[in-house]
Amino acid sequence: MKQDRRKFIKQSAAAGAALVASSAAWTAAAAAGNSERLTAAEAPFKLKYAPYMDMFEEHAGKEPVDNISFCYDMGFRAMFDNGLIDRPMEEQTRIASQMEKLGMDLGPFVLYADFSVTSFVLNSPEVREMLVNRMKKGVELAKRTGAKWALVVPGRYDERLHRDFQTANVVDNLRYCCDVLEPAGLIMVLEPLNVLHDHPGLFLTGIPQAYQICRAVNRPVCKIIDDMYHQQITEGNIIPNIDAAWKEIGAFHIGDNPGRKEPTTGEINYLNVFKHIHERGYQGTLCMEHGKSLPGKEGEVRLIKAYRECDSF
């Protein structure tokens, strides 16, 4: 047993040294304006951080399949694409095929997120029919791509209807959506968004509110996507709210605040947040829904270095 432990410690130390060396190489390459691809990572990240499909286009180009391969080489084991449903079917299939080939997870795609209209908050047959048809479209996409998660934003609140009635209507409409999604095993993740800076007028704004709704819907395919950028603005208390809502969280979005750039650029201690999520045994995706603090290749190098720093728990 002692021998095995010594061997494990020795291997871990070697892996850690390799990662530090890789980070130094990336930084040097950026400073020198090196146009070559970044050095492949020695080990994958501990969590499934998911870049968007063109996050590293300065190094990998604009072709999604090339970006997927590049991200795999950098140690990422997931990707996400908010606009997957709007891509041509042939491109959707190529993306899914490459993800499957590399054993990578595909994070939530946006299934419904109309910020301009009241929808889920209404008791309306027309709205319900529209939502059900949208869910059916998501199921067809999931069949083609193997996608497991679909993101839903319940739209705007109605200023002329009591919020409790709106909540009841949202619960009812979500149950109709679940009737379509559940046979296919497609999990809907509801995203609360901040109204103070980015999205004034929306109905769903906080993790406690989203938790209450998911508990009321009471269906296994209705969960929460915890966007930590939005929730830092709305309510803070990131880790305690993660714990309180844990059984209903299906995925995460990442972005630091202020600025909505990569971790280490704002006030959120992502090293501690990621460590906490990892210790809770989370196996899902954490979508990197943010910009870069620096332009060009230097910004892409800086982004990867930031994730290595925050994944070094």
| Tokens representing residue 106 in the block | 């595909």
φ/ψ bin of 110: left (φ > 0), alpha (ψ from -120 to 50), beta (otherwise) = beta
The answer to whether 248 is a known catalytic residue is: no
Catalytic residue of the set 248, 262, 289, 300: 289
d(CA 140, CA 8): 45
φ/ψ bin of 92: left (φ > 0), alpha (ψ from -120 to 50), beta (otherwise) = alpha
φ/ψ bin of 147: left (φ > 0), alpha (ψ from -120 to 50), beta (otherwise) = beta
Burial of 62 (0-12, 13-18, 19+ CB in 10 A): exposed
Catalytic residue of the set 91, 100, 126, 191: 191
CA angle 134, 140, 142 (to 5 degrees): 105
d(CA 283, CA 116): 34
Contacts of 312 (CB under 8 A, 6+ apart): 16, 19, 271
Three-state DSSP class for residue 188? strand
The answer to whether 140 is a known catalytic residue is: no
Contact 214, 190 (CB under 8 A): yes
Could you give the residue numbers annotated as active site? 191, 289
